[in-house]
Structure 1
């Protein structure tokens, strides 16, 4: 081979390598960790799930937008005097700009090229420039889009609603501008019982006149009544702790881990010395939990994981495989394919949500390891049990799955009923082997004498529905609250229950009523991962606790009644829309609440007030 040919081959190889590296960098994707401002985005460039100082991507250099932080000081309005906008328009645009960026980028996976952010093939930078929210030299980069936004602003009576304080503010109120737990919504969507801010509603005559013009009746709005006294969301007797996330006060999800549920999980991880076994449906990034797990691995704690995988070899949550890469000792239920019956696999899911710490503490319930559940955006019921005996029961179940025996391949576990822990009796059941609805829950319903309360994600099991109807007919008082999205399902049994006189409300909040709980006669609490469905009982990997303790059950009942009072009685005979004016905050939370692929104002339900005006 001549020297000339060798040079040509080397150049060709080098060109190929450079081209491959270029394409690899071009196609590499990253998660959005946070949005510091519309122009400053935190991107997980090193894929460690943590916001690092060198991961700030600044976009649209040389352009401007109306900054909400500027408007907290009235003197700063002069910055925008040359924009030819009214004060109301300036403030509304500042909120809508943040919302636009959040709707497009929050929790998304993106690619980067030349400081441009891409969602698939869509160039976000170009999208933003054409949104009407971006300015250059005091002029909008898209006049037509700005005109459309201003028309929307001037037709809508926007207010700032703080769910935590249950107060609303005019959009130029200094206290409203300082609020963090806020929702920027039309006044017509304010819930019942909401209080006006005293600072910005000093003119009572104008206030009442304004309220009359924008009445709930005009929009047939039957929003929640938030003028209900808060109730406890945690109870503990030393050995057993029950926690509930109150989603009525959390109208936007976050990743901050401020709920008692998330704090408890992090605490248990941090306190573990030897082992942590985790069985979860999937994972959606919660950085404080992730950090605790990494620290546990670093100090020598053995962590194992079982999780769900579907027939496309993916998980419902996009960050699951990242968690697998951290834990490494991980097994999924794809192993069921080895039986030669893939159809049985594809119709079943590993739906557990439990943790075993040092073989002596179990944490379980309805909460997924996702930021929507851990932030309290969704309503969940979680139990922590300090009992080596209960931990051993859960470990037997975990070991079966870790050794690739999922779903119908598992063996039934014995000696797990009537475990006495102090003054509490606890029984543990696993799907699909225990047939929990037929053999456990229906007999409990049949034994009920006074009352049954059910806050649930869904009820589609006919036999369970029939047992409730029978209980109603013998005089048992029954109340049920169902998640709004699932009430739209043709398989939901709530219509049948209503026909037989059972009181069923659909909830009206942005997040999901994700609990799978049943409260019977102030005596029994049923809590777990299993939805009240045929697949929950017969196909999926699930776990259910039946807790016999009057104090715990009354605690659960008090929260149920609190939630019941917050939901308007109109929803006893109607089904609320999960995304739209029916559900408070659902048009401004950045979440696809009804699973139709449309978020917030893209969803037709959130556009109703435009058509009515």
Structure 2
């Protein structure tokens, strides 16, 4: 029964996103924990953070899970552009909170300074994946509560969450440092969004892309990364560069 219910939930989410006109198909997976079922959601979050290649944006009301904190710090230390928004209640060295760990690692953090107002619980990874739901990144959420997350691979939706993340940061009064990593993330995300919204005619306008290749490129959307262009049959390094140069520089 539980498997059937999860299947119905996933189908329902796909239908909602299609109806919203987000442009390209979205892959949606739902996960649940309860007092009798734990260690289901935490591994999914850690795996997604470990797979991140370019950018992780986190907006979280409560963040006390050491294992997830380790994954965030590890991503930052391997060169991923990590940015974190936390509620004011997290700005503390109280036992168990991840704030000191992130600060010690020099991870960029901003705090909403009126405690209790930042109730968001989402992360955006590599401009493609959104993780959201009721689940705070805490041991209590994993081991004692009834909680859920959805992991949504959907570039259009990720773009909307990414925009909201930076809008929230501006409203809080945060001026993120523009460094090499953040600049590269912005360029990569912008290019990926352009590739996923490109039409048959857009691809066909690139030198060396004929009717068949243009259709293959459309059929391969959504792309999980810019590099995924190279997975399309007939697209080698030269054609990939031509596509990026034309579509991502406009």
> TM-score range, shorter-chain basis?
0.5 to 0.7
Counterpart in the other structure of 1:392? 5
CA distance in 2, matches of 1:528, 1:438: 13
Counterpart in the other structure of 2:58? 454
Whose strand fraction is larger, Structure 1's or Structure 2's? 1
CA change 1:470–1:504 in 2 (3 A) is: same
- Which of residues 56, 59, 67 in structure 2 aligns to 1:463? 67
Mapping of 1:506-517 within 5 angstroms?
506-509=111-114, 512-517=117-122
The answer to whether the 8 Å contact 1:448/1:521 transfers is yes
Quote how far apart the aligned CAs of 1:437 are: 4.2
The answer to whether the 8 Å contact 1:524/1:549 transfers is yes
Quote how far apart the aligned CAs of 1:563 are: 1.3
In the alignment of these two chains, the number of paired residues is 164
Quote how far apart the aligned CAs of 1:548 are: 1.0
Query: How high is the TM-score relative to the length of structure 2?
Result: 0.58
Counterpart in the other structure of 1:566? 171
1:158-216 Cα offsets, whole Å, 9 max, x none, are xxxxxxxxxxxxxxxxxxxxxxxxxxxxxxxxxxxxxxxxxxxxxxxxxxxxxxxxxxx
1:539-574 Cα offsets, whole Å, 9 max, x none, are 1111111111111111001010111123345999xx
The runs of at least 4 consecutive aligned structure 1 residues that moved more than 3 Å come to 419-422, 568-572
Quote how far apart the aligned CAs of 1:495 are: 1.5
- Which of residues 27, 46, 61 in structure 2 aligns to 1:442? 46
Counterpart in the other structure of 1:291? none
Note the residue ranges of structure 1 that are not aligned, 5 or more in a row.
1-389, 397-415, 573-613
Larger Rg: 1
CA distance in 2, matches of 1:513, 1:480: 12
Mapping of 1:161-172 within 5 angstroms?
none
Quote how far apart the aligned CAs of 1:489 are: 6.2
CA change 1:481–1:544 in 2 (3 A) is: same
Counterpart in the other structure of 1:17? none
Where 2:121 maps in the other structure, the secondary structure is: coil
The answer to whether the 8 Å contact 2:90/2:99 transfers is no
Mapping of 1:222-301 within 5 angstroms?
none
Mapping of 1:15-30 within 5 angstroms?
none
Counterpart in the other structure of 1:496? 101
Quote how far apart the aligned CAs of 1:420 are: 5.6
CA change 1:485–1:570 in 2 (3 A) is: farther
Q: CA RMSD in A?
A: 3.1
Counterpart in the other structure of 1:544? 149
CA distance in 2, matches of 1:439, 1:511: 27
The answer to whether the 8 Å contact 2:31/2:41 transfers is no
Counterpart in the other structure of 2:21? none
CA distance in 2, matches of 1:391, 1:559: 33
CA distance in 2, matches of 1:510, 1:496: 20
Counterpart in the other structure of 2:136? 531
CA distance in 1, matches of 2:85, 2:166: 10
1:427-453 Cα offsets, whole Å, 9 max, x none, are 111114252443200000000001001
Mapping of 1:172-183 within 5 angstroms?
none
Quote how far apart the aligned CAs of 1:470 are: 0.7
Where 1:517 maps in the other structure, the secondary structure is: strand
Where 2:166 maps in the other structure, the secondary structure is: helix
Whose helix fraction is larger, Structure 1's or Structure 2's? 2
Q: Does structure 1 residue 424 correspond to structure 2 residue 37?
A: no
Counterpart in the other structure of 1:474? 78
CA change 1:510–1:547 in 2 (3 A) is: same
CA distance in 1, matches of 2:115, 2:103: 24
1:357-408 Cα offsets, whole Å, 9 max, x none, are xxxxxxxxxxxxxxxxxxxxxxxxxxxxxxxxx9932889xxxxxxxxxxxx
The answer to whether the 8 Å contact 1:460/1:533 transfers is yes
1:526-546 Cα offsets, whole Å, 9 max, x none, are 111111001101111111111
Where 1:429 maps in the other structure, the secondary structure is: strand
Note the residue ranges of structure 2 that are not aligned, 5 or more in a row.
19-24, 178-250
CA change 1:561–1:392 in 2 (3 A) is: same
CA distance in 2, matches of 1:496, 1:477: 17
Counterpart in the other structure of 2:89? 485
Where 1:453 maps in the other structure, the secondary structure is: strand
CA distance in 1, matches of 2:176, 2:151: 29
CA distance in 2, matches of 1:395, 1:429: 13
CA distance in 1, matches of 2:38, 2:155: 25
CA change 1:570–1:484 in 2 (3 A) is: farther
1:333-367 Cα offsets, whole Å, 9 max, x none, are xxxxxxxxxxxxxxxxxxxxxxxxxxxxxxxxxxx
